[in-house]
Amino acid sequence: MKNIEREQINKVIGDVFMQFPFMFAEPIERDEIEEVVGPIYRAIMVFHGDFSGKIEILLPKEVGVELTKNLLSDEFDEQVVPEREVVDSIKELANVICGHSLTTLFGEERIFNVDPPIVSNVTQKEWLDSLVSDDAFYFLVDDTPMFLEFKHCNEGV
Amino acid sequence: MKYKILIVDDSELTRKIMTKTLSMTCLDIGEFIYASNGREALKKLDENWIDIVFADINMPVMNGIEMIEKMHEDGILKTVPVVMVSTDGSQARIEELKMKGIRAYIRKPFKPELVRDVVNDLLGEK
Ligand SMILES: [Mg+2]
């Protein structure tokens, strides 16, 4: 991935978190990532069009819970946030990130078809294994690490 | 006049966010009605007098585009303004949707002020 693309993606993520759930996402280096405790989620979004590819996001449940609370304010102030709501929030976040990344990288004249996001749980080992990719981006979202990988190729599918 | 608003989205979370956002505006809203896909929305449109529809594009059973096509086959339903809400930023896609008959497009994430302006624009007294 080119440096200019990296800068664009970093900006998209920062803007999306700021405008959407009002959270602060700051790009960090791989070696700044600390161990994560608790469950981890993975969201995958596949897109097709003039360019095709996928966006993969890995984030600890902690970020998902915070995200849900911010999106639905008042609803879960003092209560435990149900799993289903957390998964739906992560899907919505992935949708927004994907939509904005595509126009930022490829312009507003292209049409992409995006499959619905798929959210699943990953193990600590999968989390650590994914941290070696060269296409990866790392962020601290309100002090919790998040990982994003953006892969695309020029052939339409 | 209190507005009756139909929110069509397969994600319950998105329906809640839309409701919350609309409620944050000073719009005079009488009632929210919900549907989780286009087919359900057509049924709700049949049973209720709806002032404005906010609809998602990608939904199972019947998507937002099929829904608007069906609405345009009906003399009365085609007069109900439909606002599409999506994360897609493609101008080409938005033009395509306007050709299908949507009256406005809102890109996510959005602020309450934008939603208010769109409603006032489409329903406000001129
Ligand atoms: Mg949808």
**Residue at token pair 């009002």:** A22
Nearest to B77 by CA among B120, B114, B38, B115: B38
Query: Is B124 within the bounds of a domain?
Result: no
The reply to whether B71 falls in a domain is: yes
Is residue B13, in this structure, part of any structural domain at all?
yes
| Residue to substitute from B90, B97, B114, interface A, most A β-carbons within 10 A | B90
The answer to whether position B126 is within a domain reads no
For residue B33, being part of any structural domain is answered with yes
**Does the reported pTM lie above 0.95?**
no
Q: pLDDT tens digits for A88-133?
A: 999 999 999 999 999 999 999 999 999 999 999 999 888 888 877 7
Q: Which domain holds residue B47?
A: 3-119
B53 occurs within a structural domain: yes
More confident residue, A70 or A79: A70
Min Cα–Cα distance to chain B from A79, Å: 17
Question: ipTM of this predicted complex?
Answer: 0.90
DSSP H helices, chain B, are 12-23, 38-47, 64-71, 91-100, 112-123
Best A95, A98, A102, A105 member to test B by mutation, with max B CBs in 10 Å, is: A95
Residue B52 within any structural domain of the chain: yes
Nearest to A98 among B87, B107, B109 (CB): B87
Whether B125 maps to a domain, the answer reads: no
Q: How many folded domains does chain B comprise? A: 1
Structural domains in chain A plus CATH codes: 3-27+42-154 (3.40.1550.10)
pLDDT digits (tens, 9 = 90+) for B25-44: 999 999 999 999 999 999 99
Phi, psi of A26, deg, nearest 5? -120, 130
- Domain at B113, CATH number: 3.40.50.2300
